[in-house]
């Protein structure tokens, strides 16, 4: 993340937020994190550094790794769980093949997952091409078409390897990507910076082939944050456009994910939700887990149920979407795509003041 961009954004301490939430997410917008130390920097971008909570009762530290702030409430626990992703890392595709074939089932799952989602996001930019249809073509085309109005800030929750961010950047001054998968964010950062990304693409059975996502000619202005989509460490009412593609059915609470999007969205801003409603791990009592979740989503937004304001539904459609698993295996879905405009809405949260910059901030180049 660029040092100027870090100063521009208000980032809140996720631990303080988790301790102070009382049903109103905005009530925790009190403790900001500030840059304490830059360890590695390149052309103004902080590659490695330390952030610290400004709250006198907290003072927790958060790392910046490979240009990405890691703002999880329990950073230590998250980093323990992220060790497998670090092992899988950005190594040569041939070595990824070896890890997948001879490593643990967790390593194999990571390599397979990265193969599937890099293909889903960038099948039109991969060399060599896998052949067949690009299963996400219509979804990303709908995202670009729906986001024609210029936005100062656009946010995507669950951005994964970043194709949605690239589409949003065509009509936004700044895009912010939020995801809890550090490995996916690291790849997104490289691709959006105009660098190639190599990976092991699963072909048949447990066999893999080397493939490369080709770089974009023009880098985009993007901020990537490793954080929980249900507890995004950004101020309320900050974005003109908030997007979640195939996310709300993958989190512990779809309703909380929708409320998180609503909190970030300005009055007059745009909310875009797309989902096949293929519930993975959600609260069985969640209000969106019903026989027809598309109808419930529409009613929830229109009425402003448990949200800060009502929404006007602007567009709805059904979009085919598929994920390539191997050369002979594809999972197919039908995604409900909805775009809505926030009608006014209450102003959430209290005005916060950025902490004063410390004198003598340490930098190690």
What is the Cα gyration radius of the chain? 20
pTM for this predicted structure: 0.88
Cβ proximity of 348 and 236 under 8 Å? yes
Helix (H) or strand (E) holding 40, with range, is strand 33-42
Low-confidence residues of the chain: pLDDT under 70:
20-30, 80-93, 95-97, 99-104, 281-284, 345-365
What is the number of residues in the chain?
365
Q: Which positions ≥6 away from 118 have C-beta within 8 Å?
A: 126, 161, 187, 197, 199, 201, 211, 213
Task: State the angle between helix axes of 254-264 and 293-303 in degrees (0 to 180), rounded to the nearest 10.
Answer: 40
| Res 128: pLDDT | 95
With CA atoms as reference, report the closest residue to 158 among 137, 139, 176: 176
Structural domain 134-193+219-349, CATH architecture: 3-Layer(aba) Sandwich (3.40)
The ranges assigned to domains in the chain are 1-76, 134-193+219-349
- Please give the Cα distance from 342 to 362 (Å, whole number): 43
**Percent of the chain whose pLDDT exceeds 70:** 83
- Please give the Cα distance from 143 to 317 (Å, whole number): 12
pLDDT tens string 47-76 = 999 999 998 888 999 999 889 999 998 887
Q: Which positions ≥6 away from 113 have C-beta within 8 Å?
A: none
| Res 206: pLDDT | 83
Distances (CA, A) of 335 to 10, 173, 248, 249, 289: 33, 28, 12, 11, 15
According to DSSP, the residues that pair with 68 across neighbouring strands are 65
Record the tokens describing residue 150, joined without a space: 């210029």
- Please give the Cα distance from 62 to 50 (Å, whole number): 6
Helix (H) or strand (E) holding 293, with range, is helix 293-303
pLDDT tens string 229-249 = 999 999 999 999 999 999 999
């Amino acid at each position: 993340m660029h040092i100027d961009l870090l100063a521009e954004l208000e980032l809140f301490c996720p631990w303080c937020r988790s301790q102070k939430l009382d049903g109103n997410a905005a009530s925790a917008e009190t403790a900001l994190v500030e840059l304490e130390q830059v360890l590695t920097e390149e052309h103004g971008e902080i590659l490695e550094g330390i952030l610290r909570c400004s709250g006198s009762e907290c003072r927790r530290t958060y790392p910046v790794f490979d240009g990405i702030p890691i703002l999880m409430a329990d950073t230590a626990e998250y980093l323990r769980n992220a060790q497998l992703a670090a092992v899988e890392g950005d190594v040569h595709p041939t070595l990824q093949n070896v890890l997948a074939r001879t490593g643990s089932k967790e390593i194999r799952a990571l390599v397979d997952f990265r193969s599937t989602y890099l293909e889903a996001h960038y099948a039109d930019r991969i060399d060599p091409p896998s052949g067949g249809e690009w299963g996400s073509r219509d979804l990303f085309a709908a995202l670009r078409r729906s986001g024609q109005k210029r936005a100062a800030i656009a946010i995507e929750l669950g951005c994964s390897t970043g194709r949605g961010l690239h589409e949003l950047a065509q009509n936004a001054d700044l895009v912010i990507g939020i995801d809890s998968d550090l490995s996916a964010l690291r790849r997104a950062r490289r691709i959006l910076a105009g660098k190639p990304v190599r990976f092991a693409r699963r072909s048949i059975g447990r066999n893999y082939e080397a493939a490369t996502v080709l770089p974009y000619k023009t880098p985009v202005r993007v901020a990537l944050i490793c954080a929980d989509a249900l507890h995004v460490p950004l101020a309320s009412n900050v974005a003109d456009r908030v997007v979640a593609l195939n996310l709300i059915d993958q989190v512990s609470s779809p309703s909380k994910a929708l409320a998180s999007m609503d909190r970030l969205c300005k009055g007059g801003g745009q909310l875009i939700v797309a989902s096949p409603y293929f519930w993975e791990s959600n609260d069985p009592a969640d209000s969106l887990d019903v026989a027809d979740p598309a109808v419930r989503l529409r009613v929830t937004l229109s009425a402003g149920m448990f949200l800060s304001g009502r929404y006007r539904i602007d567009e709805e459609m059904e979009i085919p979407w598929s994920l390539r698993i191997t050369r002979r295996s594809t999972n197919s879905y039908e995604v409900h795509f909805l775009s809505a405009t926030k009608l006014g809405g209450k102003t959430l949260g209290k005005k916060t003041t950025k902490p004063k910059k410390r004198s003598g901030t340490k930098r190690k180049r």
